[in-house]
Structures are given as structure tokens and as C-alpha cells.
Amino acid sequence: MEGHACHDRFLSFEIASYNKNTEKDIMKAFPQYSKRHFEILDGAWDFCFLGESVDLDSVNLKKAAYNELMPVPGVFDATPKYPGMRGTALYRCKVAAAPNSRMKLRLGGIGLWSRIYWDGNEVGTIDLPYSGVEIDFLSGKGKEHELVILIDNRLDFKRCPLFSQYYDFYGFGGIYRTVELHQLPECNINRARVRPLDIKTGLVSIDIELSGKIPARFAFNLAFDGGKEEGFCETVKDGHASIKLKVPKFKLWSPEKPNLHTVTISTIDDGITERFGIREVTAEKGQIKVNGKPQKLLGYCRHESHMEFGPVQPLPLLFEDLQYLKDLGCNFVRGTHYPQDQRFLDLCDQLGFMVWEESMGWNNSPEHFADKGFFDAQVRQTQLLVRNSFNHPSVIIWGFLNEGNSETRSCEKMYRTLFKTIRGEDSSRLVTYASNRAERDLFFEMSDIISLNTYPGWYAKDREKARPLDEIVPCFDNFIRGMDKRGLKDKPFIISEIGAGAIYGWHDRFRVHWSEEYQADYLEIAANYAVRNPRVTGISIWHFADARTYTSSYALGRPRTINDKGTLDEFRRPKMAYDIVKRAFRKK
Ligand code: ADA
């Protein structure tokens, strides 16, 4: 890889060699760019916290005093200096770029809202927390430039409609994921999206997205798996060139054998390498099949959250989580409730996990859906979700609007639009949403999968009864009966959430709510039910690890302001339920 580091910071700290020294530790997610000049900007950035009640219209960059450093990726409100603070902050770094070049800033995810400045001029804003976003601009005069990322983590529905305080996960402030700065050639290859067309012959279609000075016909070389290059020239339509080819010596991707391929597309001055897998995902007679083979999806919902780093996912943490998931006998992860880190998805591709990747939403109401800003942001983020994660064979399901209001007719437009948006981008995967409306849900007919979030025996019907564990099985039996009667027998059924809270280390001889014992007894019933009942296509237990949530009085139902339903606690210490779930999943 040619991208070279050129770190010249404002402060006198000796950090210029940061990237060089750690380059090997930075896992660059696909796509990779073999020819163009780009830089991964992760490292120590200059930082200035502007305050808690800043008027965003009158931010004056010149007056900002950058007298500290902050890590990028990193969230300031998880650090000891600014714990839980909401306000406006500036992250600054100095970079080199040739004069008058086309530049692209690729941000893996920020929160909650951001404005980007290049040499003091605003070049873009981001109102989609967690989404991978690109910002294009011109480098302007000179070789030395200043990049400033303003981050605002105040809750403001107008400015950032996708996140609200009542969501049951914490909305952090900072730069969640890696930052890349690209200097673009005249015509750049932005992405190459590979879609498997035929698993018997290895035929794929490749959609090449171009930008810049786009020719009428695009001439390029193409090589699979680093092999021999072949030359092609294809017509360009709306900035896209496409081609269908058979991958030589292809091997199918499957959860058991996660074989991967790469495709490299290059021109004289640009080159991109994308990784993909050849597999087919179908739903038939209540089953989800990969390459025609029925799958029982066994796994967890997983938040990208850590007590010390918030949503920032250090590489060892990703590996740790995936090792635990494998050990638990899981083959499935539901990435809740927002687009996941691309490195996590790369690893899922390699390890053979099947993934449900979803855009952000949480219990949104008809009032939200009626709001134009919210509606548009939903569509934009869902479109980006699909475009960004298109090449991951691990992603077999697209999801959206966790527990949105799917029992009110006026919400239909939002659901229809999101189904249409996703299917318009990609018709090769299954599309669903996690519903907590059970029999009252109006939109299951639109969905490829019936996905139910439910907590019988936790948020119990009978609140006077100790240990209402006997609510679990009838809840599912009744629901399945009802769905089958409604004519939905052939749709796969996923228990997309079920769980019980347990405070790590809290043991109780009554085996009551919040004890590790209650959770273990609870998940034993739920996991075994899912494993044994052939009508259950899959389960993603709520949730993998404890995670920070409301720091307001919403937390009265969340001891420690943490959602304690993790099978592991927030520091990845397994609770009693760990071995119970493992036994159930592994029996399969
Ligand atoms: C919902 C929601 C989760 C979590 C869970 C719970 O199903 O989707 O994010 O809040 O409830 O713990 O109650």
C-alpha cells in the first residue's frame, strides 16, 4: 500500500511517527486502494472543548485554543476529563496535500453531529451517527492544510433526528471510527460492488462507481485474487460501469467454509481492491438458506459499546468478542442498532458469521415518521448502509427501524419506503425489521422474515409472581400459531430479541430478577426453545455484553445505567448464562 504518513501537528508533542509505528496494528477495512495517495489519519489530534451551550452559527475556529490532545478514533465523553458531557468540540490535525487536488475524506462513523472544515472553510456536515460517510472537496492552494472536525453530541431532534435521549443505548460524542484522507486522481474508482449471480458458475456482476472526470467509456484492468490482469472497456451510465464475469477457480462462501475472493480494478492512476464472497441467500418455506442449505441462526444482538471507549472498537476487542461468540456456538450476529464497524464485518466475513446489519432506529413513533427531517435521514442512512456493506458475504440480512411503530397505519409509508430503498439497492439479501408489536404488527407481510423482539417472563405479564419463567414458551407458541393462521407460515421466523437482566456477580438463593441465576434459567428456556423448534429459523439473544445506556431517570429500569442483559458483562466477563447458552447452542 502506498499511502504514506505525513503528520505534522500543531503541538510540540512528538507524534509524527505515530502512524508509521503502528501501521501494522491498524486494520484497514476493505476496500483498499493500491495506487492513490491516501493517509489513515488515526492518531492523536489536537482537541478543544468549546463548551456545553455553543451557538453553532457563531463558532470561530480562529479563537479556538487547542491545548490538549485526543485520540482518533475516540469519544471525548467517555474520557476521564469529559465524562458524560454534552457539548461542542473541535478535533484538529494538519495534513499535506498537493495544491488544487480533489480530496475525499472517508469517515467510518461519528456521533452525534459533525461539521467538517478544511483550511477554515466548511466542506460538509454529517447528521447520520454511526454511518460511514464520504466528503469530497478541493485541496485549494498550498501544500499544508488544516482539517478540523467539529463534533456536537447535544441532543437536538432538528439537527440530528436519528438519535434521541430515550433510546436504550448511549449516544456518545466523538469520532467513532477510522478517518482516511484520499487525494483523488482525475477520475477515481470509488467502489466496486460485487454481486454473485450464479453459485454454480461463479458468475458475478461488478458495479464500478466512478467520480471526478468521468469518461463515456471506462477502460480498466481487472484481476481476481491478485492474478492475471485483463483489460476491459465498458460504457459508463450515471457514473457507473458494470461488467459480468466468472471468477476463475471460485470457491463458495459459507458459514462452514468462508472462502473469500478479491477483485482489483485499476487504471493508470487509480486502483481499488474489494473483497467479496460468492454465495446465495434465499428464504423458502420458513427457512433461510445459504447456497441452498438451510441454516439455523444462533447468536446474539451486539452493541458496539465498551465502558471505557464507548463505541470505539479497538482491534483486540473485536477479536475478543468474536472468539467468545464462536465459543458460545454462535453462527449469527445481529448488529444492533446501527451500521457496524467495517472491520467487524470484514472479520465476520473471514470467520463465517452470518450477520444482520441494520440502520439506526429505536422505538420511533408516528410523530417521528411524520417528520420530514427524520424520514429523509432514515432513507439516506439506510441507503448508505447497503452501499457501504454491500460486499460483505457475512451480511445476509438488512434490517431497519428496531421496534418502530409498526402497528399504526400512518407509519406504513416509512416502512414501505425503507423496504423499497433497500430492495432497490440490493435484491440479493433478505430484508426485515425487528418488531415488538407481535400480533398487532401490520407490516409483517412486507418483510422477508418475521422478526420478533419480546421479553416474556422478564417484563412479565404477571408482575406479582416470582420467577414467571413459564411465560416464555406459551408466548412463542401463541405467536407462531397466530402468524401461521395469518398466512405467514412460509416466512422464516427469527426471535430477534429475548433476554433478562443480570448484574455480574449478583447471586441470589431465590434465583430472582437481576440475579445471574434468573438470567441463566431464563436463557436456558429461550435458547433451547429456539434450537429445538423447527419453526424458529433463528435467535439473536439480547444481548452479547452489557452496555451503557440512559444516564437520565429512564435508567430507573436499568441499574448502574447499563443495559444488564448481557451474557457477558461490560468488561467481557461471562455470567452464569454463558455456559448454559453454550450448551444449548452447541447441542445443535
Ligand atoms: C428492546 C430494544 C433493545 C433493548 C431491550 C431491553 O427490545 O430493542 O435495544 O432496549 O428492549 O433491554 O429491554
Residue nearest to atom 10 of ligand 1 (CA): 168
Does residue 6 form part of some domain? no
Residue that has been written with the C-alpha cell 411503530 in this structure: 405
565 lines ligand 1 (CB under 6 A): yes
Q: Summarize pLDDT for 379-411 with one digit per residue, the tens.
A: 999 999 999 999 999 999 999 999 999 999 999
The residue contributing the CA closest to ligand 1 atom 7 is 453
**What is the whole-number distance in angstroms between the Cα of residue 27 and the centre of ligand 1?**
31
168 Cα–ligand 1 center, Å: 7
Which 8-state DSSP code applies to residue 80? S
Among 237, 253, 278, give the residue marking a domain's end.
278
Domain boundary among 147, 162, 184: 184
Q: What is the CATH number of the domain that holds 254?
A: 2.60.40.10
Is residue 405 within 6 Å of ligand 1 at its C-beta?
no
Q: Calculate how far, in angstroms, residue 543's C-alpha sits from the geometric centre of ligand 1.
A: 9
pLDDT tens string for the chain (588 positions)?
Answer: 333 333 333 332 323 333 333 444 467 899 999 899 999 999 999 999 999 999 999 999 999 999 999 999 999 999 999 999 999 999 999 999 999 999 999 999 999 999 999 999 999 999 999 999 999 999 999 999 999 999 999 999 999 999 999 999 999 999 999 999 999 999 999 999 999 999 999 999 999 999 999 999 999 999 999 999 999 999 999 999 999 999 999 999 999 999 999 999 999 999 999 999 999 999 999 999 999 999 999 999 999 999 999 999 999 999 999 999 999 999 999 999 999 999 999 999 999 999 999 999 999 999 999 999 999 999 999 999 999 999 999 999 999 999 999 999 999 999 999 999 999 999 999 999 999 999 999 999 999 999 999 999 999 999 999 999 999 999 999 999 999 999 999 999 999 999 999 999 999 999 999 999 999 999 999 999 999 999 999 999 999 999 999 999 999 999 999 999 999 999 999 999 999 999 999 986
Res 26: pLDDT: 61
Range of the domain at 157: 14-184
Centre of ligand 1 to C-alpha 358, Å, is 15
Q: In terms of domains, do 305 and 446 share one?
A: yes
Pairing relation of β-strands 68-72 and 43-51?
antiparallel
378 shares its domain with 361:
yes
301 and 273, same domain (yes or no): no
What phi and psi, each to the nearest 5 degrees, are found at residue 142? 80, 175
Q: Are residue 472 and residue 405 in the same domain, yes or no? A: yes
The rounded Å distance from CA 237 to ligand 1 centre is 44
167 CB within 6 A, ligand 1: no
**Residue 99 maps to a domain:** yes
Q: What is the domain-level CATH number for residue 425?
A: 3.20.20.80
Give the start-end residues of each E strand in 153-270: 174-175, 179-184, 187-198, 203-212, 217-224, 230-237, 240-246, 261-266
In this structure, are 272 and 369 located in the same domain? Answer: no
Testing ligand 1's pocket by substitution, the residue of 164, 302, 542 carrying the most ligand atoms inside 8 A of its CB is 542
- Is residue 561 domain-resident? yes
* Domain-located, residue 335: yes
pLDDT tens-digit series, residues 3-26: 333 333 333 232 333 333 344 446
Report the residue among 302, 336, 359, 403 best suited for mutation to probe ligand 1: largest number of ligand atoms under 8 A from its CB: 403
Residue 483 lies in a domain: yes
**In terms of domains, do 227 and 333 share one?**
no
Q: Assess contact for 343 and 313: CB atoms under 8 A.
A: yes
CA of 253 to the centre of ligand 1 (A): 32
Note whether 406 and 271 are same-domain residues. no
Q: Is residue 332 part of a domain?
A: yes
> Distance (Å, rounded) from C-alpha 125 to C-alpha 156?
15
Helix, strand, coil proportions of the chain in percent (round to 5)?
A: 25, 35, 45
SS3 412: helix
For residues 409 and 544, state if they share a domain. yes
Q: Of 184, 203, 229, at which residue does a domain stop?
A: 184
Total number of domains constituting the chain: 3
**Structural domain contains residue 2:** no
Does the beta carbon of 564 lie inside 6 Å of ligand 1?
A: no
Mark 42-81 as b/e (b = at least 16 C-beta within 10 Å). bbbbbbbbbeeebeeeebebeebebeebbbbbbbbbbbee
Please check whether residues 196 and 239 belong to one and the same domain.
yes
Question: First and final CA of the chain: distance in angstroms?
Answer: 43
Same domain, yes or no: 313 and 267: no
Same domain for 548 and 403:
yes
Cβ–ligand 1 contact at 453 (below 6 Å): yes
Give the 3-state secondary structure of residue 249: coil
User: Do residue 178 and residue 220 come from a single domain?
Assistant: no
Tell me the pTM: 0.95
- CB-CB contact of 331 with 298 (8 Å): yes
Q: How far apart are CA 458 and CA 526, in angstroms?
A: 12
363 alpha carbon – ligand 1 mean position (Å): 9
